[in-house]
Amino acid sequence: MTDPDHDIAEALASLRPRPPGPGVTERLARELDASASRRGVIIAWSAGLSALAAALVAAFVFLGVVAESEAPQYQLVRADRSRPEVQLFRPVQMDDGSYARPVRVRWEDTTRWEDARNQTYLIDYRPNDQLGFLWLETN
């Protein structure tokens, strides 16, 4: 065949590895024997550290359990609304030919909630801003 891939595959199939020399075999045997003894040390250390970690986790889980406090029970103590601030603007002519005066009204609502058990409080502050029109009648 003239297929280049077939030629390469055939050439690779005909290759045979040489056996390793005696020096390589001796060094490989020494390394394998040494790693077996090292492997035992590593396994012993891993087992000891795993046992220690398990003991710490168990101590944390069983001894360190903190009782959850009850949810806060807030009660309304105070509710305030500020005096409204009214702004009147110059009259404007609308699309239909009528006139209206733009008016802006601003005020603030504040509520205070307290939990007497743990002396905590919550303040709910809500500013309000509304814009509207006062229609004007012209004769």
pLDDT in tens, 38-96: 667 777 888 888 888 888 888 877 777 666 677 788 899 999 999 999 999 999 998 98
Half-sphere exposure of 21 (CA within 13 A, CB side): 2
Q: Is 90 exceeded by the pLDDT of residue 14?
A: no
Contact 104, 89 (CB under 8 A): yes
What is the average per-residue pLDDT within 13-37? 78
Q: DSSP letter string over 14-81? A: H--PPPPPHHHHHHHHHHHHHHHHHHHHHHHHHHHHHHHHHHHHHHHHHHSPPPPPPPP--EEEEEEE
Q: Is the pLDDT of residue 36 over 60?
A: no
Three-point CA angle 130, 135, 139, nearest 5°: 165
Where do the structural domains in the chain lie, given as residue ranges?
1-66, 75-136
Q: Which residue has the higher pLDDT, 127 or 119?
A: 127
The answer to whether residue 124 scores a pLDDT higher than 90 is yes
For residue 127, give the DSSP letter.
E
The structure tokens 């309000």 sit at: 128
Range among 18-22, 65-69, 110-114 rated most confident: 110-114
Average pLDDT, the chain: 84
Would you say residue 105 has pLDDT above 70?
A: yes
- Write down the pLDDT at residue 37: 62
75 closest CA partner among 115, 126, 109, 111 = 115
Task: In whole angstroms, give the CA distance from residue 68 to residue 70.
Answer: 6
